[in-house]
Amino acid sequence: MNSGGLAVFDLDGTIARHDTFGPYLWGYLWLRPWRLPRAPLALPAAARFLVNRDRGAFKGAVIHALLGGAKRASLDNWAARYVAALMDQGLFAEALSAIAMHRARGDRLLLMSASPDLYVPRIAQALAFDETICTEVRWRADGRLDGRLATANCRGEEKRRCLAAVIARDAPGRVYAYGDSRADLDHMQLAQEAYLINVSPRQAARLAPHVQAIQWNQPAGI
């Protein structure tokens, strides 16, 4: 067994104060408004989502419709700008303190997110995480973005499966998990200590004994 701990952090609503995918997507389109007429291409996927609730298929269809065919360099340049702004304005101060605490204790840091690898690895790098697991997207043979998903959507049971694989590989001495949604409770079952961020009192009352409800409110940098 590895005597060191493993600290697993979700991204949206846990480290970042808000959703990161929507602002990334619409920010890219704001700079390239000629892509906006492609939006109706996502409508069939939206209709299917209302029936099957498949978040991964819907996410991939939206990326494919709005960003499909974009050059990697263009997306990378926007991701660099987007992540820099997010680091400056979009994080919880309490999340940064928790990350720093685990790093100081020698725990390994893992960022796990359902958001796409178009920008999540950059966030992990900026915060000095040791490993990143997130939803991956497809690229075309010509180097341009396809946008449909290359992996399962890293949420709920899929996130649990990924964390279980990391635990089996590294055998950490203790697992700590931070998240903000009911879907995060799936992988939190594998942790010895878990923290659910900014949940309602009603939901907090139903949590397992090893899951603690905590409030994070302070924007970083203020």
Domain of residue 56, residue span: 5-214
Residue 221 lies in a domain: no
Per-residue pLDDT tens for 13-70?
Answer: 999 999 999 999 999 999 998 888 887 777 777 777 677 677 888 899 999 999 999 9
Residue 115 lies in a domain: yes
Residue 220 lies in a domain: no
Residue 191 lies in a domain: yes
CA distance 194 to 180: 11
Question: 205 or 121, which is more confident?
Answer: 121
Residue 29 lies in a domain: yes
Average pLDDT, the chain: 93
Question: 188 or 199, which is more confident?
Answer: 188
Pairing between β-strand 174-179 and β-strand 211-214 as defined by DSSP bridges? unpaired
Count structural domains, the chain.
1
| CATH classification of the domain holding 173 | 3.40.50.1000
Residue 58 lies in a domain: yes
Residue 182 lies in a domain: yes
Per-residue pLDDT tens for 78-110?
Answer: 999 999 999 999 999 999 999 999 999 999 999
Residue 17 lies in a domain: yes
